[in-house]
Structure 1
């Protein structure tokens, strides 16, 4: 029995991915041990923040870094740092930023909801959002035309949630930023490559510690030294409501130390999803296939497309029954309106793929 069942919470099989709604990641024993030891002792938090920043910077190849309580907090803190800088009076004034250089340009297809509105995270930091282009189409001139003397940043979202077609690429956005001396912030919360965007020339890059990195609920901002110094100072302002604890910081560092040496076994991942797909071959009403992550990451999932008329059940009803079962099974349901669910093998514990397959077949009576 896990600690959650001890307190009457339902057992979960996570086939959805490293999702905040399901608790992010299940951490390595070494990460849990680091958090356990950190919780039982004292430390100078300012010294810890600086030391952690140097460690994170080395791993990400950035000039400096700042731990956060999560990627969403990283967005608000990054925006606040660019608006208020190191001016304590302005730091204490935020999120009220009237009269300051506070406009943040974002492509309309990047105005996503990741469980909350990304635009709200920008506003929490004092940013005034300037959306450009259309949901599925943005040109360079849309960005150029939106730049004014009040533009403080261009915000780029690298996520499967964002529109993948018709948007300007990050290299194009960085080029615009360099030509106009405007900082580029990249939200790379769930991205696996923690060096790529810094090396491309982004000024600030934000990551979640609890997704690809498989750490605790945490995150970090990495980037230019001067900007990161301003990010740390925001803990005297809006960041105080988002402060990150010693346990989270040590867990994050431990997870990053493991992650930098991790070799992802893509072949094993493919074998696992192919096995799942094979269990549904030749079943009338189900089309099963192996698909790659929408945002181009080296993540492969088993995708099941249901013919609702032939199966005489809606996809939403299948999902509902999976989640109401014992254990409750959570699949990836971004395309449920199209009759599609996906199974992400990464969070699965040994043998859980068999439970999922049997439960779906039981629901469908096939």
Structure 2
């Protein structure tokens, strides 16, 4: 017997709601139970029924809303939403290669395979196979790091901020660390060098001015409480014009005269000269250590192209002190990071092959012509999906390296620019479009610039481009 439309739209009272026990025994729940388990199903069904009851009390519930098929459909939707991962793969069309908020460096295939291997079986993470005794997890990569940088010794923690914190905590507690005022940087998330020093129990001794710091400024700052001379590489901003910095080699001379360690926070840290591939030169770890500095700290997931990690490399005696500090255990890396690090560092033994094998370098050196061809292929599908109220054009644009690396340098790129050309004000429509792109099943992250949505294709893979082509050809936005 068919049910009339008027009956389906009739108001439903709380007393009309189906019983929980009957719903839980319904045959349509059998496949859901096999997939999600009865505990989660019961929990989510109870929450759904509470929502329906609230709507009924407000007079906003109909008989069709409480039909068995409708309730089970609502339950299925809730189960999918609550069990879907909060960490989603996205398509990075921002033009920033090393995007901090999108996970920075993408790992090469060799690192992915190494991680998968240690995920499923025991490893010698802290077991010395030669002696049969407890080992040191740093030993898995220390020799390789020293080979690539020229350091005497090395230790690894979970990021560069941790590396700086550990170094200061171990070598300068309750004492002064001399730093140029122009190098008191702040990086993402309001992380500041002065705050790290305070957390490490050090006293910051600022010298010089924002734009000019002389050798004599450092010299006058030294006293009985001085523990360290520290230089911070300003990788996330540039001071131009009337400027003066003191060379690292000069600080090394001063440190030797007063028997003080000289350290450098290199930040993004690269192991090879990027200029050989047409990129701007960035000081390498080896070059920095060659000046005679005692310690260098740097990141693993920026220009190095590996997983999130922080390195402290340099004099063996100082590294040994650092490794004995209690914070070392709190800041240590896990087996997944170690596996990925070893795989990525191994690639640097064949530097001439890096553009083919290291994902970060592949993206940084990608030819503008290749990026343009990809954008032009996508343009018709996106224009069709958006309709006549929008105009999609292929245009040259500038990418950036990101994550505080080379802030004034850019990379010639290409992408899609979306303008609103309807009768209403463009701003609201552009913001809504950017939001819709972000909320696709596979989120597309672009950027708004000059009242338009910019989709830089530098980081777009061939597989991702094919998926977007299919999606935009079949569905609107």
TM-score exceeds 0.5? yes
Q: Does 1:187 align with 2:265?
A: yes
Aligned equivalent of 1:218: 309
Aligned equivalent of 1:7: 85
Q: Is the 8 A contact 1:110 1:156 kept in 2?
A: no
Aligned equivalent of 2:60: none
Q: Does 1:300 align with 2:380?
A: no
Write the deviation string for residues 321-363 of structure 1: whole angstroms up to 9, x where unpaired: 6544553333579xx79999794835x4225579899x9xxxx
d(CA) in 2 for partners of 1:342, 1:132: 43
Q: Is the 8 A contact 1:76 1:123 kept in 2?
A: no
Aligned equivalent of 2:383: none
How far 1:230 moved relative to its partner?
1.8
Aligned equivalent of 2:444: 329
How far 1:254 moved relative to its partner?
1.4
How many matched pairs? 333
Change (3 A) 1:275 1:286: closer
Aligned-pair Cα RMSD in Å:
4.3
Change (3 A) 1:28 1:178: same
d(CA) in 2 for partners of 1:188, 1:323: 34
The partner residue of 2:458 within 324, 342, 345 is 345
d(CA) in 2 for partners of 1:147, 1:356: 60
Q: Is the 8 A contact 1:67 1:244 kept in 2?
A: yes
Q: Is the 8 A contact 2:252 2:293 kept in 1?
A: no
Q: For structure 2, which runs of at least 5 residues remain unmatched after alignment?
A: 1-82, 128-133, 272-284, 356-361, 380-390, 472-476
How far 1:65 moved relative to its partner?
0.8
Write out aligned runs for 1:1-366 (5 A).
Answer: 7=85, 9-15=87-93, 16-39=96-119, 40-41=121-122, 42=124, 43-44=126-127, 46-83=135-172, 97-98=173-174, 101-119=175-193, 120-135=195-210, 137-140=211-214, 141-165=216-240, 168-169=244-245, 172-181=247-256, 182-193=260-271, 194-234=285-325, 237-261=326-350, 262-264=353-355, 268-272=366-370, 288-290=396-398, 295=406, 300=411, 302=413, 312-313=426-427, 322-331=437-446, 343=456, 345-346=458-459, 348-350=460-462, 352=464
Write the deviation string for residues 157-181 of structure 1: whole angstroms up to 9, x where unpaired: 3354233436655x71331232243
Q: SS of 2:307's equivalent?
A: coil
d(CA) in 1 for partners of 2:261, 2:457: 35
How far 1:201 moved relative to its partner?
3.1
d(CA) in 2 for partners of 1:106, 1:176: 11
d(CA) in 2 for partners of 1:214, 1:124: 29
**In terms of mean alpha carbon deviation, does 257-266 or 74-83 score higher?**
257-266
Q: SS of 1:216's equivalent?
A: coil
Aligned equivalent of 2:80: none
Q: SS of 2:236's equivalent?
A: coil
Q: Is the 8 A contact 1:301 1:344 kept in 2?
A: no
Aligned equivalent of 2:388: none
Q: For structure 1, which runs of at least 5 residues remain unmatched after alignment?
A: 84-96, 360-364
Q: Is the 8 A contact 2:368 2:414 kept in 1?
A: no
Q: SS of 1:24's equivalent?
A: coil
Change (3 A) 1:111 1:14: same
If the length of structure 1 is used for normalisation, what is the TM-score?
A: 0.71
Q: Which has the larger radius of gyration?
A: 2
Change (3 A) 1:7 1:151: same
d(CA) in 2 for partners of 1:121, 1:65: 21
Q: SS of 2:104's equivalent?
A: coil
Change (3 A) 1:35 1:263: closer
How far 1:277 moved relative to its partner?
8.8
Change (3 A) 1:109 1:213: closer
How far 1:66 moved relative to its partner?
0.7
d(CA) in 1 for partners of 2:230, 2:432: 38
If the length of structure 2 is used for normalisation, what is the TM-score?
A: 0.56
| Higher relative contact order (CA closer than 8 Å, sequence separation 6+) | 1
Change (3 A) 1:38 1:9: closer
